[in-house]
Amino acid sequence: MTRRPDPVIRLHDYVLSSEGYAVRLLLGFLGLAHQRVPVDVHPGRENRSEAFLALNPLGTLPVLEAGFDEGSGPQRIVLREAEAILTWLALRFDPARNWLPESPELQAGIAQWLFFASRDFAPLARLRDCALRGIPVDPAPFARQAQQALSVVEDHLCEREIAAEAADGGEGVWLVGSAPTIAELAVFPPAALAWDAGLGLEPYPALWRWIRRVKALPGFTVMPGIYPDFASAYAAVPIVTSAASGAPPASPHS
């Protein structure tokens, strides 16, 4: 049997796109080689160009283009919407089905969070967009809706923590099931980037703990506005003391 050629994956993306980050996270977790095509969203408005609109008439990012061959000849797929891209990547490249399990109940639960991420976090996304570009808007109505969405995640995680506490001490609480899924990857970027919009996450302690669990997953990648878990990032750094700092500094009064 001849070896199938590796798939060619091209991700049209903007480095500050929260939705693009969701896809980058999964590509990182799956260790999938891919090409990044940067799109000059701001200030160039390249996503409104004819060439880009031919790829995605909505002008939204990210867009995934892939060429692959499953044995029946070369195929090509073009996908928009992070949630659709996450679904396809998980079904196509995660044979163990860790990220999108087979169980109908888990799949439906995941679909619920994918819709939630795109619909209920839209006001937060809009607030972030205005804050990043310095567009003056009255933040109050957006902030209220964003906080409602964050509270929904907080309450859900909190309930699951309480339920899990009895069983295993509260570790390993995820949005759906008992392991991380693409539901995490859709919800994590807008929630963890809320600071960009000027919304602090202090009122959401269970969300905080969940963010730390996501950051600790092997293959996790950061984006601007999201820092690694510093406790583990610094643990690997050797403390270097330069020769000069070995001796106490001369007193300016001596």
**Site membership for another protein, residue 233 (CB under 8 A):** yes
The angle, 0 to 180 degrees and rounded to 10, between the axes of the packed helices 139-168 and 182-192 is 130
**Site membership for another protein, residue 8 (CB under 8 A):** no
**φ, ψ for residue 64 (rounded to 5)?**
-110, 130
Residue window 168-197: x/- pattern of binding to another protein, with contact defined by CB under 8 A? ---------------------------xx-
**Site membership for another protein, residue 40 (CB under 8 A):** yes
**Site membership for another protein, residue 141 (CB under 8 A):** no
Contact 145, 123 (CB under 8 A): yes
Contact 5, 29 (CB under 8 A): no
**Site membership for another protein, residue 224 (CB under 8 A):** yes
CA dist 222 and 228 (Å) reads 6
**Site membership for another protein, residue 31 (CB under 8 A):** no
Least distance (Å) between residue 99 CB and another protein: 26
Pick the binder of another protein from 25, 26, 27, 39 (CB under 8 A): 39
Least distance (Å) between residue 146 CB and another protein: 14
Residue window 62-101: x/- pattern of binding to another protein, with contact defined by CB under 8 A? ----------------------------------------
Secondary structure letter of residue 38 according to DSSP: E
**Site membership for another protein, residue 19 (CB under 8 A):** no
Helix or strand (DSSP H, E) at 9: strand 8-13
Between 126 and 156, name the residue whose CB sits nearer to another protein: 126
Nearest residue to 65 via CA among 73, 56, 77:
77
- The full length of the chain comes to 254
Least distance (Å) between residue 167 CB and another protein: 36
Which three-class secondary structure state does DSSP give residue 253? coil
Least distance (Å) between residue 61 CB and another protein: 12
Between 36 and 92, name the residue whose CB sits nearer to another protein: 36
**Site membership for another protein, residue 38 (CB under 8 A):** yes
Contact 130, 124 (CB under 8 A): no
**Site membership for another protein, residue 252 (CB under 8 A):** no
Least distance (Å) between residue 4 CB and another protein: 32
Helix-, strand-, coil-residue percentages of the chain, each rounded to 5: 50, 10, 40
Between 2 and 241, name the residue whose CB sits nearer to another protein: 241
Task: Give the residues across from 12 on adjacent strands.
Answer: 37, 63
Retrieve residue 81's tokens. 């919407």
Token pair 């999938």 is found at 32
Token pair 């980037």 is found at 193
Q: What is the binding site for another protein (CB under 8 A)?
A: 14-16, 38-40, 42-44, 46, 130-136, 195-196, 198, 224-225, 227, 233-234, 237-238, 240, 242
